[in-house]
Amino acid sequence: MSLSLRLDINGEPRIVEIDDPRITLLDLLRERLALTGAKKGCDRGQCGACTVLVDGRRINSCLTLAVSLDGAEITTIEGLAGDGGVGGERLHPVQAAFIRHDGFQCGFCTPGQIMSAVGLLAEGHAGADPERVRELMSGNLCRCGAYRGITEAVLDAIAAEAGAAREDAA
Protein backbone atom coordinates (compact mmCIF):
# COMPACT_ATOMS: atom_id res chain seq x y z
CA MET A 1 0.00 0.00 0.00
CA SER A 2 1.26 3.45 -0.74
CA LEU A 3 -0.50 6.74 -0.37
CA SER A 4 0.60 10.09 -1.56
CA LEU A 5 -0.13 13.07 0.68
CA ARG A 6 0.17 16.74 -0.12
CA LEU A 7 1.41 18.49 2.98
CA ASP A 8 2.67 21.96 3.64
CA ILE A 9 5.31 21.57 6.32
CA ASN A 10 6.81 24.71 7.79
CA GLY A 11 5.90 26.66 4.68
CA GLU A 12 7.30 24.13 2.26
CA PRO A 13 4.88 22.19 0.05
CA ARG A 14 5.81 18.53 0.00
CA ILE A 15 4.51 15.32 -1.45
CA VAL A 16 4.89 12.62 1.18
CA GLU A 17 4.60 8.94 0.33
CA ILE A 18 3.11 6.83 3.08
CA ASP A 19 3.38 3.04 2.98
CA ASP A 20 1.60 2.26 6.22
CA PRO A 21 -1.77 3.60 7.39
CA ARG A 22 -0.74 3.18 11.03
CA ILE A 23 1.78 6.01 10.88
CA THR A 24 0.93 8.88 13.16
CA LEU A 25 1.83 12.44 12.28
CA LEU A 26 4.36 12.37 15.12
CA ASP A 27 6.13 9.29 13.82
CA LEU A 28 5.98 10.63 10.29
CA LEU A 29 7.72 13.80 11.37
CA ARG A 30 10.23 12.14 13.65
CA GLU A 31 11.12 8.91 11.91
CA ARG A 32 10.59 9.69 8.23
CA LEU A 33 10.96 13.42 7.71
CA ALA A 34 13.87 14.08 10.11
CA LEU A 35 11.83 16.64 12.03
CA THR A 36 12.59 15.47 15.55
CA GLY A 37 11.67 18.66 17.38
CA ALA A 38 8.25 17.32 18.37
CA LYS A 39 8.77 14.77 21.11
CA LYS A 40 7.09 11.55 22.12
CA GLY A 41 6.37 11.57 25.83
CA CYS A 42 3.41 9.22 25.97
CA ASP A 43 2.03 8.43 22.49
CA ARG A 44 -1.43 8.63 24.07
CA GLY A 45 -2.44 12.28 24.04
CA GLN A 46 -1.66 12.67 27.73
CA CYS A 47 1.42 14.86 27.84
CA GLY A 48 1.49 17.38 24.99
CA ALA A 49 5.17 16.88 24.14
CA CYS A 50 4.17 16.17 20.55
CA THR A 51 2.14 19.35 20.06
CA VAL A 52 2.31 20.89 16.57
CA LEU A 53 0.03 23.22 14.66
CA VAL A 54 -2.22 21.77 11.98
CA ASP A 55 -3.94 24.48 9.97
CA GLY A 56 -3.03 26.89 12.76
CA ARG A 57 -4.57 24.82 15.56
CA ARG A 58 -2.53 23.07 18.24
CA ILE A 59 -2.97 19.32 18.24
CA ASN A 60 -1.34 16.23 19.69
CA SER A 61 0.46 14.78 16.70
CA CYS A 62 0.68 11.36 18.37
CA LEU A 63 -3.10 11.06 18.15
CA THR A 64 -3.35 12.07 14.51
CA LEU A 65 -2.96 9.59 11.70
CA ALA A 66 -0.85 10.98 8.92
CA VAL A 67 -3.19 9.67 6.22
CA SER A 68 -5.93 11.94 7.52
CA LEU A 69 -3.95 15.08 6.79
CA ASP A 70 -3.94 15.38 3.01
CA GLY A 71 -3.77 19.06 2.13
CA ALA A 72 -2.98 20.19 5.68
CA GLU A 73 -0.63 22.94 6.70
CA ILE A 74 1.69 21.81 9.47
CA THR A 75 3.93 23.96 11.61
CA THR A 76 6.49 22.35 13.89
CA ILE A 77 8.99 23.87 16.29
CA GLU A 78 11.56 23.81 13.49
CA GLY A 79 9.43 26.17 11.46
CA LEU A 80 8.92 28.79 14.12
CA ALA A 81 12.10 30.83 14.10
CA GLY A 82 12.96 33.10 11.21
CA ASP A 83 15.76 32.27 8.81
CA GLY A 84 19.38 32.40 9.78
CA GLY A 85 20.08 29.13 11.52
CA VAL A 86 21.21 28.77 15.09
CA GLY A 87 22.94 31.88 16.31
CA GLY A 88 21.81 34.06 13.48
CA GLU A 89 18.16 33.19 13.58
CA ARG A 90 15.35 35.41 14.73
CA LEU A 91 13.62 33.55 17.46
CA HIS A 92 9.86 33.67 17.59
CA PRO A 93 8.80 35.95 20.51
CA VAL A 94 7.51 32.93 22.42
CA GLN A 95 10.84 31.14 22.01
CA ALA A 96 12.77 34.18 23.22
CA ALA A 97 10.40 34.57 26.17
CA PHE A 98 10.95 30.95 27.19
CA ILE A 99 14.69 31.57 27.37
CA ARG A 100 14.29 34.83 29.28
CA HIS A 101 11.95 33.34 31.87
CA ASP A 102 13.76 30.00 32.13
CA GLY A 103 10.58 28.26 31.03
CA PHE A 104 12.26 24.88 30.81
CA GLN A 105 14.87 22.70 32.40
CA CYS A 106 15.53 19.47 30.54
CA GLY A 107 13.86 20.92 27.45
CA PHE A 108 12.02 17.76 26.45
CA CYS A 109 8.54 19.20 26.88
CA THR A 110 9.64 22.54 25.48
CA PRO A 111 8.87 22.20 21.77
CA GLY A 112 5.38 21.08 22.74
CA GLN A 113 4.98 23.86 25.30
CA ILE A 114 6.09 26.47 22.80
CA MET A 115 3.85 25.22 19.98
CA SER A 116 1.00 25.07 22.44
CA ALA A 117 1.72 28.64 23.54
CA VAL A 118 1.83 29.81 19.93
CA GLY A 119 -1.52 28.12 19.37
CA LEU A 120 -2.87 29.70 22.53
CA LEU A 121 -1.84 33.16 21.38
CA ALA A 122 -3.69 32.62 18.13
CA GLU A 123 -6.80 31.45 19.97
CA GLY A 124 -6.76 34.79 21.75
CA HIS A 125 -8.90 33.85 24.74
CA ALA A 126 -6.34 33.87 27.52
CA GLY A 127 -5.96 37.61 27.74
CA ALA A 128 -3.52 38.75 30.38
CA ASP A 129 -5.02 36.44 33.01
CA PRO A 130 -2.38 34.14 34.52
CA GLU A 131 -5.01 31.72 35.75
CA ARG A 132 -6.42 31.29 32.26
CA VAL A 133 -2.95 30.87 30.82
CA ARG A 134 -2.16 28.16 33.36
CA GLU A 135 -5.43 26.41 32.61
CA LEU A 136 -5.04 26.64 28.85
CA MET A 137 -1.45 25.41 29.03
CA SER A 138 -2.37 22.46 31.21
CA GLY A 139 -2.44 19.99 28.34
CA ASN A 140 1.34 20.20 28.31
CA LEU A 141 3.02 18.39 31.18
CA CYS A 142 6.41 19.46 32.44
CA ARG A 143 7.90 16.94 34.81
CA CYS A 144 10.78 19.28 35.59
CA GLY A 145 8.21 21.68 36.99
CA ALA A 146 9.10 24.73 34.93
CA TYR A 147 5.51 25.96 35.10
CA ARG A 148 6.23 29.32 36.65
CA GLY A 149 8.66 30.26 33.89
CA ILE A 150 6.32 28.86 31.24
CA THR A 151 3.41 30.93 32.49
CA GLU A 152 5.54 34.07 32.72
CA ALA A 153 6.89 33.51 29.23
CA VAL A 154 3.43 33.06 27.75
CA LEU A 155 2.09 36.14 29.54
CA ASP A 156 5.11 38.09 28.36
CA ALA A 157 4.50 37.02 24.76
CA ILE A 158 0.81 37.88 25.04
CA ALA A 159 1.70 41.31 26.43
CA ALA A 160 4.24 41.90 23.67
CA GLU A 161 1.68 40.95 21.04
CA ALA A 162 -0.94 43.22 22.60
CA GLY A 163 1.62 46.02 22.70
CA ALA A 164 2.47 45.48 19.06
CA ALA A 165 -1.23 45.46 18.18
CA ARG A 166 -1.73 48.74 20.01
CA GLU A 167 1.16 50.26 18.13
CA ASP A 168 -0.30 49.09 14.83
CA ALA A 169 -3.63 50.66 15.70
CA ALA A 170 -2.06 53.97 16.70
Partner 1 sequence: MPLDSPAPIAPYPRHGSNSGQPLTRRDGELKVTGRATYAADNHPADLLYAVTAVSSIARGRVTALDVAAAKAHPGVVEVFTPANRPPLAHDPDVKLGMFGFRIEVLQDDGVRYVNQPIALVVAETLEAAVEGAALLNQQYEAQPARTGLDDGERYAPAAVGVGAPAHTAYGDLDAGFAAADQIVETDITTPAQFHNAMEPHSVVAQWDGDDHLTLDMGNQALVMSRDAYAVYFGIPAQNVLIRSPFLGGGFGSKAILNGPQILAILAARQLKRPVKLALSRAQMYGPVGHRGRTWQRLRLGLDGEGRITALHHQSTAATSSFEDFLEPAASASLHAYASPAILAETQGLRLDTGTPGPMRAPGEASGSAALEVAIDAAADACGMDPLEFRLLNYAETEPGTGRPYSSKALRECYSEGAKRFGWAGRPLQPRQMRDENGMLVGWGMGTALFPCPHFPAEARATLRADGTALVETAGVDMGQGAWTALAQIAAEALGLDPEQVEFRSGVSDLPDAGVAGGSGHTASAGLALHNAGEDAIARLAELAGADPASPLFGAGNIGVVARAGRLHRRDDEGRSESYADILARTGKSMVVGTGRMARDDAAAQAWAMYSNGAVFAEVKVDPDLGVVRVTRLVGAFAAGRIINPRLVRSQYYGGMIWGLSFALHEAAQTDRRTGRIMNADLSEYRVPVNADVPSVEAILVPEEDRYVNPLGIKGVGEIGVTGTVGAIANAVRHATGVRVSRFPIRIEDLL
Q: Which is nearer to partner 1, 81 or 121 (CB)?
A: 81
Q: What is the footprint of partner 1 within residues 74-133 (CB under 8 A)?
A: 76-78, 80-81, 86-87, 89, 91, 95-96, 98-100, 102, 104-111, 114, 130-131, 133
Is the backbone of residue 128 left (phi > 0), alpha (psi -120 to 50) or beta? alpha
**Cα 38 to the center of its chain, rounded Å:** 8
**Least Cβ distance, residue 83 to ligand FES (angstroms):** 27
Our finding on whether 143 is near partner 1 (CB under 8 A) is yes
Tally of CB atoms within 10 A around 44: 10
CA-CA distance, 126 to 168, in Å (whole number)?
Answer: 21
CA-CA distance, 41 to 39, in Å (whole number)?
Answer: 6
CA-CA distance, 105 to 58, in Å (whole number)?
Answer: 22
E strand or H helix that includes residue 167: helix 147-169
Q: Which does 87 bind (CB under 5 to 8 A by kind): partner 1, ligand FES, none?
A: partner 1
CA-CA distance, 97 to 10, in Å (whole number)?
Answer: 21
Our finding on whether 48 is near ligand FES (CB under 6 A) is yes
Q: Which is nearer to partner 1, 102 or 123 (CB)?
A: 102
**Least Cβ distance, residue 80 to partner 1 (angstroms):** 7
Our finding on whether 155 is near partner 1 (CB under 8 A) is no
CA-CA distance, 39 to 127, in Å (whole number)?
Answer: 28
CA-CA distance, 145 to 21, in Å (whole number)?
Answer: 36
Q: Which of 6, 31, 46, 128 binds ligand FES (CB under 6 A)?
A: 46
Q: Which does 38 bind (CB under 5 to 8 A by kind): ligand FES, partner 1, none?
A: partner 1
Positions that interact with partner 1 (CB under 8 A): 20, 22-23, 27, 30-31, 34-44, 46-47, 49, 76-78, 80-81, 86-87, 89, 91, 95-96, 98-100, 102, 104-111, 114, 130-131, 133-135, 137-151
